[in-house]
Amino acid sequence: MSNATLKLKKREDRRLRAGHGWIFSNEIDTKVTPLKGLVAGESVNIVSDSGQLLGSAYVNPASLICARMISRHANKTLDRALLQERIQRAHGLRDQLYATGHYRLVYGDSDFLPGLVIDRFDDVLVVQSSTAGIDVVMDDVKDVLTELFDPEAIILRNDSGARDLENLERYTRVIHGDMPDKLRIEENGLRFEVPTTDSQKTGWFYDQQDNRRRLNRYVAGKSVLDVFSYAGGWGIHAAHYGARDVACVDASEAALESVKRNAELNSLDSFVRTIKGDAFEVLKHLKESGEMFDVVILDPPAFIKRKKDMDSGSIAYERLNKAGLQLVNDGGVLISCSCSHHMSADNLQRAILKAAQKSRHQLQILETGEQGPDHPVHPAIAETRYLKAFYCRVLNT
C-alpha cells in the first residue's frame, strides 16, 4: 500500500536534499496536498514541487515541524520491522564502543529515529518520546526493546518540554516491569546511583562521559569546585583521579544527597563536600570569603533553549565564566561547558574570552570536548551537535 503524498513548495527541498530531516508546515504546498485529513504518525511520501521523490516521513499536522524523514526511499513506514532494524543497528555501535550496558542507546535523528531517545542503565531502559509520531508506535518500541534486551524495566519519561511543541501531555510511567527505586550507572570504573523519578532528564548525562575522563590529567593533588554538580558526575571523577578536596555545588538538596551517596559508593566521601545554593550566589560568596580552587568546573543547564534567547543566554554564560575565573588559582584550570545547541563552540569561546578580559585573566585553551560517540552527530542536522567543553589554563599575567 502506497503512502499518501506531501508536495513541497518551490525551492523548499534544498534543506532535505542536503540531508536534513525536518519539514515545516509552511514548506508544504497545502493547496495541492493539504495536511488536513492526515493523522499523527501517518507515513507519507515527500516530493519536490517538480514531483521528484525525496523519501518517506511520518507526520503530525498539528506541529510546526509537520513531518520528519525516516527514509530516502518511497513507501517506508515507521513500523515494528523498521524500529527493530534501527534499534539493533544503534545497539551494534554502542556494544562496540562500551564495555558495560550504560550509554545512550538511541539518539533521535542521529540514529535515524527522529523523536526517540533511549538511555540504557544495564537492565533498565529509560525512553523519551518528543513527537506524536513516536507516541503512536510506542507499543512497538516497547516490544522491540523487550525482545532485544529482556530488561527488568522500561520507564517512559515523557516529561520533556519538547512535547509541548507537538501538543502532547507530559507524564512518566513504567511500560514494562516494575519501577526501580534507583538507576544504577557505571562510568569510567566508577559507580553512581540516582533516584528513578526525582532526577534530571533521563536520569544521567551520558554525553559528558568522555569529557569527565579527561579530568585525570588535571586534578591529582588539586582542589576542585564542581558547579551545577547534579549527582556528582564531575566531582566524584575528580576525587577518583586524585583531587585532595572536591566541593560540589547544586541548588537541589536531592542532587546533593546523591552526591554524598555516590561518594560513599566509591569510598571517596572523605574527599567530597557539598554546598547547597544558587550557583551565582555561591560563587559570589566563595569569592567574598577568599576561597580559591585549582580546578573549577562549570557545567550549567542550557541557558539558551530558543534562538531568541541568544543575547540574554550569552550574557549568562559570560557572567558565569567570569564568576568561575575569579576563583581559579594562578596556573589552574577552568572547564567550561555548554549544552545549548544554539551556543556554538566559537560563541562559547568568545564568552569565556570576554569573561577573562573582564576578570583580568589570560587563558590558554588546552583542549576541547564534545558529546560522546553514543550521541553521534548527524552531519546535516546541526541541532544534533550541542555539547561543548573547553579546558582552559588560567593565568594572572
pLDDT in tens, 254-264: 999 999 999 99
Q: Region 66-90: what's the mean pLDDT?
A: 96
pLDDT tens-place string over residues 230-243:
999 999 999 999 99
Residue 62 clears pLDDT 80, i.e. is over it: yes
What residues does 193 pair with on adjacent strands?
A: 184
What does the pLDDT average to over 21-36? 94
What is the percent of the chain where pLDDT is above 70? 99
Q: Pick from 79, 71, 42: which is nearest to 55 by CA? A: 71
Cell reading at 159 = 516529561
From the number of C-beta atoms within 10 Å of its C-beta (0-12, 13-18, 19+), residue 246 rates as buried
Pairwise CA distance, residues 334 & 371, whole Å:
18
Using a pLDDT cut of 90, give the percent of the chain over it: 91
Cell readout for 225 is 569546585
Structure confidence at residue 203 as a pLDDT band (50, 70, 90): confident
Determine the topology of domain 4-71 in CATH. 2.30.130
Q: The CATH number of 184-395 is which of 2.160.10.10, 2.40.50.140, 3.40.50.300, 3.40.50.150?
A: 3.40.50.150
Query: Got the DSSP string for 286-305?
Result: HHHHT--EEEEEE-PPPS-S
Assess whether pLDDT exceeds 90 at residue 366.
yes
Q: Any alpha helices (H) in 124-171, and if so which ranges?
A: 132-136, 138-149
Q: What is the pTM of this model?
A: 0.94
Q: Say how far residue 202 (Cα) sits from the centre of its chain.
A: 9
| Cα 357 from Cα 334, distance rounded (Å) | 14
* Confidence category of residue 199, pLDDT binned at 50, 70, 90: low
Q: So which residues are the catalytic ones?
A: 339
Structure confidence by residue, pLDDT tens digits, 126-148: 999 999 999 999 999 999 999 99
pLDDT at res. 392: 98
What is the edge-to-edge ordering of all strands in the sheet holding 22-24? 4-7, 43-47, 53-59, 65-71, 22-24
| Cα dihedral value 78, 81, 86, 92, nearest 10 | 170
The pLDDT, as a whole number, for residue 2 is 72
The pLDDT value recorded for residue 170 is 94
Q: Classify burial at 226, counting beta carbons within 10 Å of its beta carbon; exposed 0-12, middle 13-18, buried 19 or more.
A: buried
Short-list 308, 369, 371, CA closest to 342: 308
What average pLDDT does the segment 185-201 reach? 87
Domain boundaries, the chain: 4-71, 80-180, 184-395
Burial (CB < 10 A; 0-12, 13-18, 19+), residue 84, is middle
Could you tell me the fold of the domain covering 80-180?
A: Transcription Regulator spoIIAA (3.30.750)
Burial of 104 (C-beta count, 10 Å sphere; 0-12/13-18/19+) = buried
State the DSSP code for 3: P
Cα–Cα nearest to 44, from 9, 11, 4, 83: 4
The mean of the pLDDT values for the chain is 95
Banded model confidence at residue 397, pLDDT cuts 50, 70, 90: confident
CB 333 within 8 A of CB 393: yes
pLDDT for residue 118 is more than 70: yes
Amino acid 162: pLDDT = 87
pLDDT tens, residue by residue, 157-170 = 999 888 998 889 99
Averaged over 119-129, what is the pLDDT?
A: 97
For residue 317, is pLDDT > 70?
yes
Inform me whether the pLDDT recorded for 200 exceeds 70: no
